[in-house]
A and B are shown apart, each in its own frame.
Chain A
Amino acid sequence: MQVHRVSRQYVIRKLLIMIPSLLGISIVLFALLALAPGDPFDELATNPAVPPEVRAALRAKFGLDDPIWMRYWHWLIALLQGDWGFSFVSRMDVSTLILQRLPVTLVVIGASQILAIAIAIPVGVLAATRPYSLFDQIANTFAFIGFSLPTFFTGLVLILVFSIQLDWLPFVYRADISATGWEFYWEHIKQSIMPVTVLGLFQGAALVRFVRSSVLDVIRLDYVTTARSKGIGERKVITRHVVRTALIPVVTLVALQMPIVFSGAVVTEQIFRVPGIGSLLITSMLSNDTPVVMGVTFVSACLVVFFNLIADILYGWLDPRIAFR
């Protein structure tokens, strides 16, 4: 391991740079949400049974009448103390809402990311080592189909085939399975198969193309020819010399996709009713529940920034030529 080459100073400097950028992001997010039209208590205005005073009292109670900068300041101070805000709609802490949804999101979206990587790397490498072979052609075709079909379409097709025609898999995801023991896991796996497949194939397809072109770039380089002429076996050349170099851009892509694991997949979650963070985000947006929207988007932003740092560090490990200063 050459991780030690990454100097502590470098990491600290990067971490310090994160602070102003996160502050900037939070200001932009907050301002956008505050300036956007709509009001969480909008629905009340059109409800004849609710007098305007109630709406006024609620606005005052949730601090919506304060100027934007003051609301931002309150939000920031609270966040630094670990308080993520209070949902207007559900009247509970934003952190509770997010934590409730987190396990399902991590399992489903995480599994689909793993599936995507597990498919993309071997297929992409194999296709690149035999360019324009039959395998490459097939892999390419499927990759094109895979990323040109939107998830709502593949999702519906899977539901029609496996739930309605064959009746093998349930298409409504339920986070609380009452069964215990093996049956508990089996039920969870059964209901996760379709959403994980839909997402995994979609992301995997794009990744295959990426891995393939990246490997193709590297495989033609002189040092690979040198390695081969030294008499190193083909398999070793590919795994030790080619793949490791070719994976560098792939790492960036995967690392930057990681925040998605947290923020969920809105469309797929909606189709299969997966109670993930994506569906929390979309329902909160529709009901103008700004504290929740702010919480989810800000955590996503933090993760993007953080995984950028991880990607930077991984570069150093994968390619010693990249120096850290």
Chain B
Amino acid sequence: MNERELRGLIGKVKAGKLSRRGFVQAMMAVGIGAPAAGQILMHSGVAMAQSPSTYKPTKRGGGGPLKLLWWQGPTLLNPHFAVGTKDQDGSRLFYEPLAAWDGEGNLKPKLAAEIPTKENGGLSADGLSVTWKLKQGVTWHDGKPFTADDVVFNWEYAKDPATAAYTIASYQDVMVEKVDQYTVKVKFKKATPFWADAFVGTRGMLIPKHLFADFIGAKSRDAPTNLKPVGTGPYMFKDFKPGDLVTGVANPNYHQANKPYFDSVEMKGGGDAVSAARAVLQTGEFDFAWNLQVEDEILTRLEKGGKGKVSVTPGGNIEFLLMNTTDPWTEVDGERSSLKTKHPTLSDPEVRKAIALLVDNKSIQDHIYGRTGPATRNFLYGPPRFDSKNNPIEFNVDKANDILEKAGWKKGADGIRAKDGKKLKFVYQTSINQPRQKTQAIIKQAAQKAGIDIELKSVTASVFFSSDVANPDTYTKFYTDLEMYTTTMGQPDPGTHMLQFVSTEAATKANKWQGRNITRWQSPEADKLYRETEAELDPVKRAALFIKLNDLAIQNQIVMGIVQRPTVSAMTAKLNAQISGWDNNTSDLSDWFKDA
């Protein structure tokens, strides 16, 4: 189905000639899943059918305590200062954004009365503004009303560099205006296709103006409410011990009827992932455990007792292989992997093609990651509407040998291929982490059969992922031929994610290796595609552009997806909890409940 046919169908739905369901079925027939189809309709201006609520309890409270186990406890509870997911998840017990992302990458209103669309006048046709209608009658935990002033205040608070909020990027380039007591308008400097950033999801949690107004800017660290949150969320703050415990009690005035179900909540921190899984799956001491980076084999064994279940939530995080486009072994102007160089052997496209054929994604999934790492070749695979179908996984040693032979890379006496005196010898680095070392071994083995010698290097995670400019072993410096790590995608919009392929984003000494383009790929074609995505307001066309950009990088073997890294959590058998890979684990906490 091409774009025109698709538009034709959407037109029919709009005109009422085709039912929503008929459209979704037509989409499914050509391989587009229901969520993606729904998304296309929503963005094309067809109102979204609210996904039916699965929430069963008919009254507030009565569910006893909800016990959450985070093996790294939250260390602070101001959402604007939350560094990692642990802090955001902890803040989310008490604070809410205007809207949250659900598991399929769709928006769900929280403090907003409705999701802005073109039809309800929320989205301007020129893409320069978005108008949010706020839910009325919402109160903060201390009884003060929640209004547009609070929303505007959060923008002022976060955009001030002196506040040093970690959320600043979502707020500094927009203008926020109060239209009336319950309406705010977010204005952009230029047409912005991805408008749902400020006030939405992980970086959109709202803090009360009346408690933070005196602590804007340089005084931000002195606000007493930093440690004693007062939000609008389903639970009210009770106690906080950084790194150890956060507790809360049900909010009797919560703005959604019959919620929350639990009388109190506690989030315990510390320990390690395996024992956290045990505490939920084997002993049932806790109801929910977060981020279980544990081998699937162990999880399956722990699950056998039947006390709990493992939940795997897809997102956009990808474990992938990068091939250096620059020469990591020659120093130019005080930096290796300099943009002024070209990789001596990897710059031959035939070599890259051969290496791609030697990555056995399927075996890596089957033998290492299991449910916690579905194989993929794409760099961009989520939400499903961005998942390209053009990059099948192909593992073929013979074909790789063939390609290299034809390209003139001949095996020497040591079994290693060479051409013009240059040998196919590579150093392949990653962080120390058992599944990664196993993956390295699988790829090395296959490469050997094709006459490519790979030297494995593993670096302590704290060094590999640090930004220490003095250390040559960080992933952003990429002073080796190949490397592998997981990059996270925090939002269901690939804008930031795809900076990986933009020339000007190359990590160099000049930008202290803070650029997002780690392979230093310089491609005018990719740059052009990325620029187009920045201006394209039509979500369908924009998705197509991102898919094209992904395909360009994958088919040039700049990077290669290995496995997806979904969110893995454990919950007791009776717990009903919707986890979203696009938002905090606790983003939907108000709707969690246990079967009686």
* Contact surface of A with B, Cβ cutoff 8 Å: 37-39, 42-54, 57-58, 61, 86-87, 89-92, 97, 100-101, 159, 163-164, 167, 170-172, 174-176, 178, 269-273, 275, 279-280, 283, 286-287
Which chain A residue has the least Cβ–Cβ distance from B71?
A273
The answer to whether B270 touches A270 (Cβ under 8 A) is: yes
Smallest CB–CB gap between A33 and chain B, Å?
16
CA gap between A42 and B172 in the complex, in Å? 22
On chain A, the residues within 8 Å of B221 by CB distance are: 61, 86, 91
The answer to whether B516 touches A48 (Cβ under 8 A) is: yes
The answer to whether B282 touches A43 (Cβ under 8 A) is: no
CA gap between A172 and B244 in the complex, in Å? 11
A89-B76, A171-B283, A271-B275 as given contacts; A49 in contact with B166, CB under 8 Å: yes
> Which of these binds chain A: B119-127, B418-426, B464-472?
B464-472
On chain A, the residues within 8 Å of B283 by CB distance are: 163-164, 167, 170-171
> Which of these binds chain A: B157-165, B390-398, B438-446, B450-458?
B157-165
Which residues of B, 224-271, contact A by the 8 Å Cβ criterion? 226-227, 239, 241-245, 247, 266, 268-271
CA gap between A100 and B270 in the complex, in Å? 15
The answer to whether A90 touches B161 (Cβ under 8 A) is: no
Which residues of B, 145-195, contact A by the 8 Å Cβ criterion? 161-162, 164-170, 172
The answer to whether A57 touches B164 (Cβ under 8 A) is: yes
B532 located at the interface, meaning its Cβ lies under 8 Å from any Cβ of chain A in the complex: no
Question: Which residue in A48, A92, A283 is a CB contact (below 8 Å) of B496?
Answer: A48
Which residues of B, 54-108, contact A by the 8 Å Cβ criterion? 65, 69, 72, 75-76, 78, 81, 83-84
Question: Which residue in A92, A167, A176, A273 is a CB contact (below 8 Å) of B271?
Answer: A273
On chain B, the residues within 8 Å of A46 by CB distance are: 465-467, 476
Question: Which residue in A51, A87, A92, A287 is a CB contact (below 8 Å) of B168?
Answer: A51
A44-B83, A52-B514, A275-B244 as given contacts; A172 in contact with B468, CB under 8 Å: no
A86-B221, A275-B241, A275-B245 as given contacts; A57 in contact with B161, CB under 8 Å: yes
Having A48-B169, A61-B221, A279-B244, one finds 16 other A-B pairs with CB under 8 Å, namely A37-B471, A42-B467, A44-B83, A45-B467, A90-B75, A91-B76, A92-B242, A100-B242, A172-B271, A172-B285, A172-B286, A174-B245, A176-B266, A269-B270, A271-B275, A283-B243
On chain A, the residues within 8 Å of B534 by CB distance are: none
B499 located at the interface, meaning its Cβ lies under 8 Å from any Cβ of chain A in the complex: yes
CA gap between A171 and B226 in the complex, in Å? 31
B38 located at the interface, meaning its Cβ lies under 8 Å from any Cβ of chain A in the complex: no
On chain A, the residues within 8 Å of B535 by CB distance are: none
Question: Which residue in B78, B166, B279 is a CB contact (below 8 Å) of A171?
Answer: B279
CA gap between A48 and B468 in the complex, in Å? 16
B203 located at the interface, meaning its Cβ lies under 8 Å from any Cβ of chain A in the complex: yes
The answer to whether B245 touches A97 (Cβ under 8 A) is: no
Smallest CB–CB gap between B322 and chain A, Å?
15
CA gap between A270 and B170 in the complex, in Å? 36
Smallest CB–CB gap between A41 and chain B, Å?
9
The answer to whether A49 touches B496 (Cβ under 8 A) is: yes
12 pairs across A/B with beta carbons < 8 Å?
A37-B471, A49-B496, A51-B172, A54-B161, A87-B242, A89-B242, A90-B242, A163-B283, A167-B283, A175-B245, A271-B275, A275-B245
Which chain B residue has the least Cβ–Cβ distance from A92?
B227
On chain B, the residues within 8 Å of A39 by CB distance are: 467-468
On chain A, the residues within 8 Å of B247 by CB distance are: 176
On chain B, the residues within 8 Å of A283 by CB distance are: 72, 75, 243, 270
On chain A, the residues within 8 Å of B165 by CB distance are: 54
CA gap between A86 and B203 in the complex, in Å? 25
On chain A, the residues within 8 Å of B245 by CB distance are: 174-176, 275
The answer to whether A50 touches B467 (Cβ under 8 A) is: no
Smallest CB–CB gap between B4 and chain A, Å?
36
On chain B, the residues within 8 Å of A49 by CB distance are: 166-167, 169-170, 203, 490, 496
Give the number of A-B contacts (CB < 8 Å). Answer: 139
A42-B468, A49-B170, A90-B76 as given contacts; A58 in contact with B243, CB under 8 Å: no
CA gap between A176 and B203 in the complex, in Å? 30
The answer to whether B243 touches A280 (Cβ under 8 A) is: yes
On chain A, the residues within 8 Å of B161 by CB distance are: 53-54, 57
A91-B221, A175-B241, A275-B241 as given contacts; A50 in contact with B268, CB under 8 Å: no
Smallest CB–CB gap between B192 and chain A, Å?
16
**Most B C-beta atoms less than 10 A away, residue of A50, A273, A275, A283:** A273
Smallest CB–CB gap between A204 and chain B, Å?
25
CA gap between A101 and B242 in the complex, in Å? 10
Smallest CB–CB gap between A270 and chain B, Å?
6
The answer to whether A270 touches B272 (Cβ under 8 A) is: yes
CA gap between A39 and B468 in the complex, in Å? 8
Which chain A residue has the least Cβ–Cβ distance from B476?
A46
The answer to whether B466 touches A164 (Cβ under 8 A) is: no
On chain A, the residues within 8 Å of B275 by CB distance are: 159, 171, 271
Question: Which residue in B75, B271, B496 is a CB contact (below 8 Å) of A287?
Answer: B75
**A-contact bits for B191-206, CB 8 A (1 contact / 0 none):** 0000000000001000
Question: Which residue in A61, A89, A176 is a CB contact (below 8 Å) of B218?
Answer: A61
On chain A, the residues within 8 Å of B269 by CB distance are: 273
The answer to whether B468 touches A271 (Cβ under 8 A) is: no
**Most B C-beta atoms less than 10 A away, residue of A39, A51, A57, A91:** A91
Smallest CB–CB gap between A243 and chain B, Å?
41
Which chain A residue has the least Cβ–Cβ distance from B165?
A54
CA gap between A159 and B271 in the complex, in Å? 13
B133 located at the interface, meaning its Cβ lies under 8 Å from any Cβ of chain A in the complex: no
Which chain B residue has the least Cβ–Cβ distance from A48?
B496
On chain A, the residues within 8 Å of B65 by CB distance are: 178
On chain A, the residues within 8 Å of B476 by CB distance are: 46
On chain A, the residues within 8 Å of B272 by CB distance are: 270
Which chain A residue has the least Cβ–Cβ distance from B169?
A49
CA gap between A175 and B29 in the complex, in Å? 56
Smallest CB–CB gap between B65 and chain A, Å?
8
On chain B, the residues within 8 Å of A270 by CB distance are: 270-272
B278 located at the interface, meaning its Cβ lies under 8 Å from any Cβ of chain A in the complex: yes
Which chain B residue has the least Cβ–Cβ distance from A287?
B75
Which residues of B, 448-501, contact A by the 8 Å Cβ criterion? 462, 465-468, 470-471, 476, 490, 496, 499
Question: Which residue in A37, A44, A172, A272 is a CB contact (below 8 Å) of B166?
Answer: A44
Smallest CB–CB gap between B512 and chain A, Å?
8
Smallest CB–CB gap between A173 and chain B, Å?
9
On chain B, the residues within 8 Å of A50 by CB distance are: 166, 168-169
